[in-house]
């Protein structure tokens, strides 16, 4: 279509004035009434996007020009229609050129978005579906969620530009950035944080009859910390080591298996890093008296000095029967979405803006998105993308220097 307009503007001798006029209106009809191909589903045409144009066209009594027969109807239109031809022609040309300029300005924006989620069924995977819905419905982008191995895998994918966005946890991405742990010396520093997802809480419980009601009581006791390879199995032993607390034994198994062992008296306490509420605590409270606890501020400060990707937090009162009247202080770590540092600043700014303007879409997908709020960005363990920095500064959020440096 663009080549047609080019020939018209060049006024080749072999194209008559009448032919040029007919071709121009055919092209402009296509430009105005046809949807712009952005995203999946049915996008809006220019006519739908412009109430002013719709109103003016209606006033001029101009109906849609059909590609096969409508053009002749237009040229044979009534007197009212012909009086508006000059105005409509100028308006249509201006709008067409405006669309071209708009597309040119955003030509470096990705047209197809790949989101690194998590294993199918996991919180991160479901949450990512809400993010994809916002990108499609509010930005007209084609976005798909890929099942991945989780935070470590997503860090690798985004750093290598094999995914546009990825959901990560603070511990995993911190190790990746610094080349620690799983990264085995390779630093993944081409990634940038854009917005927070949800918080994860260090939680631990024990039967009341054991007398275990705080972390210090775990010395000489048996403790379950989840399956080998899980975040809980990696972090809880490090926390206890930092606090110089030595359980008699640390047991690795699924949380449900550990819960059964605890009920049978084979285990003194069960610990996990998990969102709220932890269903196992809610379940065991219906049949047993339990103590649910976290860490004191003094203990948390000591741990955070060693592991700066962790944060202080509170389990809200009423989360469990045992804390209906008080909050439980404990360590937390946040999950975030990352992108590559080379993503256009204006694109990321728009993405972050649309996420916060449409959190209800994401909450409808997964309730954990209630914690997706701008003020939580300060818990990021890594620098932010420049587009995200611009957004948070506009919102008046005081960003720590570590989140700004490195760009």
pLDDT digits over 307-338, tens only? 989 999 999 999 999 999 999 999 999 999 99
Query: Where exactly are the structural domains of the chain?
Result: 2-105, 112-198+336-404, 199-333
CATH topology identical between 112-198+336-404 and 199-333: yes
Q: Is CATH 3.40.190.10 the classification given to domain 112-198+336-404?
A: yes
Could you tell me if 170 and 336 are in contact, meaning their C-beta atoms sit under 8 angstroms apart?
Answer: yes
Instruction: Name the pTM for this structure.
Output: 0.66
Q: Residue 397 above 90 pLDDT?
A: yes
Predicted pLDDT of residue 407? 67
Q: What's the rounded mean pLDDT across residues 26-38? A: 46
Tens digit of each residue's pLDDT (9 = 90 or more) over 135-189: 999 999 999 999 998 899 999 999 999 999 999 999 999 999 999 989 999 999 9
More confident residue, 90 or 270: 270
Question: Architecture of 199-333 per CATH?
Answer: 3-Layer(aba) Sandwich (3.40)
Q: List Cβ<8 Å contacts ≥24 apart for 7-14.
A: none
Residues 163-202 as b/e (b if ≥16 CB within 10 A, e otherwise) read bbbbbbbbbbbbbbbbeeeebeeeebeebbbbbbbbbbbb
């Amino acid at each position: 279509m663009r080549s047609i307009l080019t020939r018209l503007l060049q006024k080749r001798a072999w194209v008559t004035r009448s032919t040029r006029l007919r071709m121009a209106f055919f092209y402009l009809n296509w430009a105005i009434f046809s949807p712009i191909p952005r995203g999946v589903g049915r996008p809006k045409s220019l006519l739908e996007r412009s109430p002013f144009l719709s109103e003016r066209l209606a006033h001029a009594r101009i109906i849609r020009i059909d590609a096969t027969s409508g053009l002749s109807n237009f040229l044979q239109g009534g007197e009212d229609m012909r009086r508006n031809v000059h105005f409509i022609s100028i308006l249509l040309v201006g709008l067409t050129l405006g669309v071209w300029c708009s597309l040119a300005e955003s030509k470096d924006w990705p047209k197809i978005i790949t989101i690194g989620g998590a294993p199918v069924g996991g919180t991160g995977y479901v949450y990512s579906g809400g993010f994809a819905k916002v990108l499609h419905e509010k930005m007209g982008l084609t976005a798909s969620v890929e099942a991945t191995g989780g935070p470590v895998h997503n860090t690798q994918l985004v750093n290598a530009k094999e995914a546009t966005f990825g959901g990560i946890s603070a511990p995993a991405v911190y190790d990746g950035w610094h080349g620690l742990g799983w990264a085995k010396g390779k630093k993944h520093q081409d990634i940038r944080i854009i917005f927070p997802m949800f918080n994860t809480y260090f939680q631990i419980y024990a039967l009341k009859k054991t007398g275990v009601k705080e972390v210090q009581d775990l010395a000489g006791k048996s403790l379950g910390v989840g399956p080998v390879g899980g975040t809980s199995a990696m972090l809880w032993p490090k926390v206890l080591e930092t606090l110089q607390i030595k359980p008699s034994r640390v047991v690795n198994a699924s949380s449900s298996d550990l819960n059964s062992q605890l009920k049978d008296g084979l285990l003194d306490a069960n610990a996990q890093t998990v969102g709220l509420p932890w269903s196992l605590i809610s379940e065991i409270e219906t049949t047993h008296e339990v103590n649910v606890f976290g860490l004191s501020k003094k203990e948390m400060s000591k741990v955070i000095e060693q592991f700066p990707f962790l944060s202080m937090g509170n389990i809200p009162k009423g989360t469990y029967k045992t804390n209906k009247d008080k909050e439980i202080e404990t360590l937390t770590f946040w999950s975030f979405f990352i992108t590559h540092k080379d993503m256009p600043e204006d694109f990321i700014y728009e993405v972050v803006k649309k996420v916060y303007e449409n959190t209800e879409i994401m909450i409808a997908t997964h309730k954990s998105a209630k914690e997706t709020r701008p003020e939580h960005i300060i818990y990021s363990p890594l620098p932010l993308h420049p587009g995200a920095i611009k957004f948070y500064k506009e919102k008046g959020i005081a960003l720590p220097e570590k989140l700004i440096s490195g760009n």
